């Protein structure tokens, strides 16, 4: 079973989620998405796997959220996705992928639902 994690090593929740996977004898493929950001098309795929709208995946406490006025309700899903692709720090983390599904590791134990 191929399992992957969109990981930010500076994030405590991401580190805890990765640790939890390893405690369960899972060695996931680690994608440091800040170094290798997903494209807008990949983000659409991720959103589909998560069953979420773009606004549900955006981090609202990041400077970029305020700097680019992303709270503006008139912004389209396409625009929100474009900002997340350009500024991946805006993407909620960690995201774990397994069995054609995805889940955000907040709390980390939530990832156990799909493995």
Each residue of 66-101: pLDDT tens digit? 999 999 999 999 999 999 999 999 999 999 999 889
Is residue 107 domain-shared with residue 79, that is, in the same domain? no
Q: How much is the pLDDT for 86?
A: 98
> Dihedral of CA 7/10/12/18: which sign?
positive
pLDDT in tens, 19-36: 999 999 999 999 999 999
Q: Print the domain residue range for 14.
A: 1-33+93-115
Report the catalytic residues: 11
b/e code 21-53 from CB counts within 10 Å (16+ = b): beeeebebeebebbeebbeeeebbebbebbeee
Is residue 42 domain-shared with residue 81, that is, in the same domain? yes
pTM of model > 0.85? yes
């Amino acid at each position: 079973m191929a399992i992957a994690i969109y990981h930010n090593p500076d994030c405590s929740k991401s580190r805890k989620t990765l640790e939890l996977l390893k405690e369960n004898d899972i060695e996931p493929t680690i994608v440091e998405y800040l170094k290798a950001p997903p494209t807008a098309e990949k983000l659409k795929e991720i959103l589909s796997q998560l069953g979420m709208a773009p606004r549900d995946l955006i981090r609202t406490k990041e400077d970029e959220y305020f700097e680019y006025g992303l709270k503006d309700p008139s912004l389209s899903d396409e625009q929100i996705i474009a900002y997340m692709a350009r500024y991946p720090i805006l993407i909620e983390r960690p995201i774990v992928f397994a069995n054609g599904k995805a889940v955000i590791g907040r709390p980390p134990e939530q990832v156990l639902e799909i493995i």
